Amino acid sequence: MSEPTPSRRLVGEAVLRDPLVCELLAMRLVGVLTTLEPDGSVHAVPMWLAPGDGAVLLATGSRSRKVANLERDPRATLVLHDSRPGAEVCGASIRGRVELVRGSAAKALVLHVHHRYVGDARERLPEVEAFLGSDDVAFRFLPDTAITWDERASDAAAVLRESAAAFPLEPTSPRPG
């Protein structure tokens, strides 16, 4: 009987060089960014992201709660995970700080994030452009530390995979209109 694999702690530049973190950032996942509210509680939101220039890039609107939180305190945590049925789970909880990029400097970064998820649909489809057009701030998330986990090679994952005993997770395909 095997125990769960211990999580790993990464520090500094090792975070973005780690093979698991690189694998997760290369996937088109939705990350969860947490910022701190004025009362110290956590504000957590799902966000599109893209790797770029020694940072993780994210895009949002200047009127968002997360922008106000980061103006007050630049610390944030970004959770990335690729979870599958059973014990097929891996991920990273990355702590760091966010640099806010505004104005003309933000435009290319915002488009870089958007194009990763919708290609040129933003420019071709007016409804998409209207929806994403309010994103005028880019975040450069700069990792300080991370905790990673990876159970894909565990005995439990192998047994559940071979036996088909794990229940499926909800599909991520688009919902019917």
28-37: pLDDT as tens digits = 999 999 999 9
Q: What is the mean pLDDT of residues 144-161?
A: 93
Question: What is the per-residue pLDDT for 18?
Answer: 97
Q: What is the mean pLDDT of residues 1-19?
A: 90
Q: How sure is the predictor about 100, in pLDDT bands with cuts at 50, 70 and 90? A: very high
Tell me, yes or no, whether 167 lies in a domain: no
Tell me, yes or no, whether 176 lies in a domain: no
Token output for 4 = 């769960």
Tell me, yes or no, whether 18 lies in a domain: yes
Question: 57 exposed, middle or buried (CB, 10 Å; 0-12, 13-18, 19+)?
Answer: buried
Tell me, yes or no, whether 3 lies in a domain: no
Q: Which domain range does residue 126 map to?
A: 8-161
User: What is the three-class DSSP state of 106?
Assistant: helix
Secondary structure of 112-132 as H, E, C letters: HHHHHHHCCHHHHCHHHHHHH
Tell me, yes or no, whether 171 lies in a domain: no
Tell me, yes or no, whether 169 lies in a domain: no
Question: What is the per-residue pLDDT for 97?
Answer: 98
Q: How many domains does the chain have?
A: 1
Q: State yes or no: pLDDT of 85 exceeds 60.
A: yes
Q: What is the mean pLDDT of residues 66-80?
A: 98
Q: State yes or no: pLDDT of 6 exceeds 90.
A: no
Q: How sure is the predictor about 103, in pLDDT bands with cuts at 50, 70 and 90? A: very high
DSSP letter assigned to residue 64: S
Q: State yes or no: pLDDT of 1 exceeds 70.
A: no
Tell me, yes or no, whether 37 lies in a domain: yes
Q: What is the pTM of this model?
A: 0.93
Look up the CATH number of the domain holding residue 76: 2.30.110.10
Token output for 136 = 């005028």
Question: What is the per-residue pLDDT for 16?
Answer: 97
Question: What is the per-residue pLDDT for 177?
Answer: 76
Q: What is the mean pLDDT of residues 165-170?
A: 88
CA-based nearest residue to 166, from 85, 88, 107: 85
Q: How far apart are CA 63 and CA 2, in angstroms?
A: 49
Percent of the chain topping pLDDT 70:
99
CA-based nearest residue to 34, from 98, 89, 101: 98
Tell me, yes or no, whether 172 lies in a domain: no
Q: State yes or no: pLDDT of 122 exceeds 90.
A: no
Cα 166 to Cα 51, 86, 87, 158, 159: the distances in Å are 32, 5, 8, 11, 10
